[in-house]
Structure 1
């Protein structure tokens, strides 16, 4: 099988690597390669496989969390990036254990990233894999969900984490028709899913975005207006809007360390603020441990006086993912795919994946290996 791997070694790459590319991520020079590895062993008749599926990955994409995997920043021993990395994928069922029902060879499936854990359930919590770039995966059947036949591999490979998290956040924030919603970090993948889904429900959606990118895309998704929190004039307009509407019904904020102090003050009575992670990096000082206590006290006072609720949301539940797939099938949800790569395009795939100008996901599609041709080396992606 094939697998996309990464290391920081210098000199000649291993013999089993092909389509090699170098790229700098967060200031560290990394080497990526498409490697050949032994197929994942799977005996459908074996008792230990009775509830498991052998899935052949058709396409995968990388998420925000996968950057840490690529950089080897997980605790020592918890992840070997030389065996692959990545979280989101679409796969075709290759074989099933004797107790598997509802899935059969040939079905296309994506992972369900369920959280929190359920008592007594040892297999259905958290991200399904940290090695989505491995072409063969052994997965418990409960962690896989069929995808609509009309959904492309690139779309399906860009779906699970972003859509499941966004739908869980909208559920917690009680977003529905005629609610007024503020979504921060508008061009992040989770936010793009949240925006599209909220607009599809008939909500009035506004955005906060520092990048200034994607104005046309946001308008296509249904955003009424996007505000730049670094622009004093935009902040005044946003504050004026919040007063006019008596505060937002919900704030969906993927990056609480970057936006929480601004966003919480804009919530209306009985409103909801929901967040799913930290951004890290240059915006840490906005809401980090060095933030003056008065800012936090002001924020909490605002929440208390308005009977507002703060929600922390990690991933979602299977029903969130199924709702997202249903909305996509009904034309109420858009999957934003920036670009699609295959074959020898490891360099372009890596470069686009880590490009801050990217809008939506970059997906790598495993092609027919009989027609793939890999050059010995691609050094065109050196540099940031």
Structure 2
């Protein structure tokens, strides 16, 4: 069984070919990553604890921003002779099923069902099925999986579970109306790319913020009406002339979709119209304390945010992943051609270091990066 893993610096002394370890650097931290072979999982479909379980062989997987915390924690704090398998999204094939499994058959293509806050089954937690999705074989309760139709390529299926489920949950909560002005922050982030693509079917005016105009052409082709460049370390954020031009063009925003509230909320809440909705699904400062880099919040104080919220009747909405129906809707929309998923690149074989580099270090990455077991 193969495992793409984060390794202690001594792991290379205890492995032999075809396993290997390579070194890269992320945010100034040395990271040892590799492909580690271990014993295959033994799955007995007849024993009671496996009655509702499914054995899945991973075909491909991808990493997310949230995985950086686990990567740095392993690299900095784990034992030097240990390795840790990370990853939160995958596509796989059902290899075997427990005696009472009814939702799947051997040969089905499946991805993780991250239904939150509960799974619907006592004793089976809600949320992500696994933080170790880059291991080749894994056993799941059937409630934690969902089938994907043949119209969805493996590379897309390996990226759609979190982005699709989260984005469609946020759009459901926003109750969008046709013609609304919607601002999406961090346009190049994976969640925001999902949101921009998903917004098109709602016939709204899409605006987006970014720190770099590198992908202005691609984002406008995806439906962004205007890409707004910000300077996150500046008190003004947006040049005065540009800010005035945007206000004249469209006034205020009806909704803001933000994957990193600790970067944006203190600057963007005043841009919402009266009765506007701001929704967020995550935060940026997930690992700075691990790597010794201080994160500095900029913007309104908590009191000022709440005063603005009250005076303008603004709704601030939190979102964590979504429901099964949200993921089903994303899958259906992709299969029918009404949702696009941006794939940057696909790696396989010994390209483990390249996969990590492209996922987290490449300034020109646009979309999800996938590793496929060959």
Q: TM-score, normalised by structure 1?
A: 0.87
**Aligned ranges for residues 289-308 of structure 1 at < 5 Å?**
295-308=301-314
Q: In structure 1, what is the equivalent of residue 111 of structure 2? A: 110
For the 8 Å contact 2:230–2:238, the answer to whether it is kept is no
Q: In structure 1, what is the equivalent of residue 160 of structure 2? A: 159
**Aligned ranges for residues 205-220 of structure 1 at < 5 Å?**
205-220=206-221
**Aligned ranges for residues 273-352 of structure 1 at < 5 Å?**
273-280=278-285, 284-287=295-298, 295-352=301-358
Structure-2 separation of matches of 1:127 and 1:219: 32
Listed as ranges, the gaps of 5+ residues in structure 2 are: none
Q: Pick which of 128-137 and 354-363 moved more.
A: 354-363
Structure-2 separation of matches of 1:127 and 1:223: 30
Structure-2 separation of matches of 1:185 and 1:71: 23
Cα drift, residue 296 of structure 1: 3.5
For this pair of structures, how many residues does the alignment match?
Answer: 360
- Are residue 250 (structure 1) and residue 226 (structure 2) matched? no
Q: In structure 2, what is the equivalent of residue 359 of structure 1? A: 366
Cα drift, residue 36 of structure 1: 0.7
Q: Describe the superposition over 1:326-354 as per-residue Cα deviations: whole angstroms up to 9, x where unpaired.
A: 11112111111100011121121121111
Cα drift, residue 300 of structure 1: 2.2
Structure-2 separation of matches of 1:346 and 1:98: 36
Cα drift, residue 193 of structure 1: 0.3
SS in 1 for 2:310: helix
Cα drift, residue 175 of structure 1: 2.5
Cα drift, residue 232 of structure 1: 5.9
The root-mean-square deviation of aligned C-alpha atoms, in Å, is 2.5
For the 8 Å contact 1:8–1:29, the answer to whether it is kept is no
Q: Describe the superposition over 1:2-58 as per-residue Cα deviations: whole angstroms up to 9, x where unpaired.
A: 001112315844224624321112221111110111112211111111111000000
SS in 1 for 2:83: helix
Q: In structure 1, what is the equivalent of residue 200 of structure 2? A: 199
Distance 1:236-1:46 versus aligned 2 partners, 3 A rule = farther
Cα drift, residue 303 of structure 1: 1.4
For the 8 Å contact 1:257–1:284, the answer to whether it is kept is no
For the 8 Å contact 2:32–2:75, the answer to whether it is kept is no
Structure-2 separation of matches of 1:365 and 1:139: 20
For the 8 Å contact 1:178–1:202, the answer to whether it is kept is yes
SS in 1 for 2:258: strand
Cα drift, residue 148 of structure 1: 2.1
For the 8 Å contact 1:54–1:96, the answer to whether it is kept is yes
Distance 1:120-1:236 versus aligned 2 partners, 3 A rule = farther
Structure-2 separation of matches of 1:273 and 1:234: 23
**Aligned ranges for residues 88-107 of structure 1 at < 5 Å?**
88-107=89-108
Cα drift, residue 236 of structure 1: 4.7
For the 8 Å contact 1:175–1:198, the answer to whether it is kept is no
Structure-2 separation of matches of 1:356 and 1:175: 34
Q: Describe the superposition over 1:285-306 as per-residue Cα deviations: whole angstroms up to 9, x where unpaired.
A: 234xxx6xx6433332221122
Listed as ranges, the gaps of 5+ residues in structure 1 are: 368-384
Structure-2 separation of matches of 1:348 and 1:173: 38
**Aligned ranges for residues 1-384 of structure 1 at < 5 Å?**
1-10=1-10, 12-16=12-16, 18-72=19-73, 82-117=83-118, 121-230=122-231, 234=239, 236-238=241-243, 240-242=245-247, 245-280=250-285, 284-287=295-298, 295-357=301-363, 358-367=365-374
Which fold has the larger relative contact order, with Cα–Cα distance below 8 Å and residues 6 or more apart in sequence?
Answer: 1
For the 8 Å contact 1:16–1:35, the answer to whether it is kept is no
